Homo-oligomer: A and B are copies of this chain.
Amino acid sequence: MPIFQAYNLYLSPHRKFAKSLKNMLGFVPSNLNLYRMAFRHRSVAISLKNGTKSSNERLEFLGDAILGAVVAEMLFKRYPYKNEGFLTEMRSKIVSRVNLNQLARKLGFNELIEYDAKMVNYGNKQSSLLGDAFEAFIGAVYLDKGYNFTKDLILNRIIQDHVDVHQLELTETNFKSKLIEWCQREGKEFAFEPLVNEVGESEKLFCIQVLVDGEVVGLGRDFNKKNAEKMSAEKACETLSI
């Protein structure tokens, strides 16, 4: 038997999966089942008497939180003179579904995800399949290797190599213009509608809602009117998956 054939046999699906992960991320996973779960979309999850195949949704919940903490610390230290509004906005940009989808694709996760094509329109621009798997993967790494390892991986292998934080800082994500452009393209009516609520400590809280074709698709609240508007436009973009 030629050597390469023996080598292929040696590479069982299990080993191939481990090898793919190692090539993509530069570390050897210990508990492979966790990573398999991270890449399993709910369309292929099963729950049987003699065994279950859980989807990645619980891991996504955990990974989302760990990623949020790591990115929060990175921004806190990188921008010592910026206020929490700036930090919150930067974090939203970094962990946005669009950004995480791209990140997952760059890492080659599209080759690892298990899903049922009949049930999921993967090509759909609005699909969050990849971004969800990315978060679930972070959850798996955390359970497998602990906080400091995960933090190091996110900062020094993923963000450093694949995310241009400085560029994101410069890119003012103008949700308002994104929304207006989308409405023009889709032939929909658009309006901001201010609602004023008096809440909080002796300060006026502005509530602003965004209506698209008369339907409320976003709501923003802030002590600053401009910020409330910005936030409502951001929420609207999220609702409409723009």
Q: Are B58 and A83 in contact (CB under 8 A)?
A: yes
Q: A120 contacts which chain B residues (CB < 8 A)? A: 201-202
A116-134 vs B, Cβ < 8 Å mask (1 yes, 0 no): 0001110010110100000
Q: A124-B201, A216-B219 are in contact. Are A58 and B72 (CB under 8 A)?
A: no
Q: How many identical chains are in the complex?
A: 2
The answer to whether A215 touches B201, judged by C-beta atoms less than 8 angstroms apart, is no
- Contact residues in B for A69 (Cβ distance below 8 Å): 65-66, 68-69
Residue interface mask A92-136, B partner, CB < 8 A = 1: 000000000000000000000000000111001011010000000
Is residue A25 contacting chain B, with contact meaning CB distance below 8 A? no
Establish whether residues B88 and A76, one from each chain, have CB atoms under 8 Å apart when the complex forms.
no
Q: State how many residues of chain A have any CB contact under 8 Å with chain B.
A: 48
Contact B216 A195 (CB under 8 A): yes
Q: Is residue A159 within 8 Å, beta carbon to beta carbon, of the partner chain?
A: no
CA distance A71 to B200 in the complex (A): 27
Residues of B within 8 A of A215 (CB): 195, 197, 207
Whether the pair A207, B201 counts as a contact (CB closer than 8 A) is no
Kindly identify, within residues 204 to 223 of chain A, every residue whose CB is under 8 Å from any CB belonging to chain B: 207, 209, 215-219, 221
Tell me, yes or no, whether A84 is within 8 Å of chain B by CB: yes
